[in-house]
Amino acid sequence: MLYIYVDNSNVFIEGKRVGAVKKGYAYDIYQAMKQGILDPAYRIDFGKLHKFVSGNGGTNIAKARLFGSKPPENDTLWKIANQAGFETVIYDRNIQNKEKKVDISIVTEMLRDAYKLVDLERDTVVLVAGDGDFVPTIESLVQDGYKVKVYFWGHASQELQKACTEFISLDDHLDKISV
């Protein structure tokens, strides 16, 4: 069974950068990052992401959680994510309108589930994020014998890519998880 944890803003914003490179708005991902170049039309299809990460349409998912910040009232993102099979965990932004609590919430839930629910022999922990802040958690889980897959864009933290048991780049699958 799979236990899936997705950092919504991380995968979405970096997907906009990958999309910008693919459309020729930037000549490489590093220019897109340095100059803040994004593909304004890029959108994640949560149903496609859910299916892609599960590998078989979701029949092997024990838990799929999407973490992020509270959107504007007219935004349907979280409703769509729920319909696609994700449980959503939403936090208010801070007074400066910055996203807070998301990464630490993912880490907390991932560790709690690993030590309470995940079967070392049969189950896999899946992280859809590319931030190097996840490295200590992933290293600890792998050292303790857990299988940990990370799905993210190819420019994910190199340390994170090395820490997990398997890294799957989303770059070649941009169209498979996009609207």
Cβ-contact 22, 173 below 8 angstroms = no
> According to CATH, what is the number of the domain 2-8+43-177?
3.40.50.1010
Spell out the alpha helix ranges (H) of 24-85: 29-35, 46-54, 77-83
- Report the distance separating Cα 172 and Cα 108, nearest Å: 30
Could you write out the DSSP letters of every residue in 77-96?
Answer: HHHHHHHTT-EEEEE---TT
Res 77: pLDDT: 66
Dump pLDDT digits (tens) for 59-106. Answer: 788 999 999 887 666 566 667 777 778 888 888 777 877 778 899 999
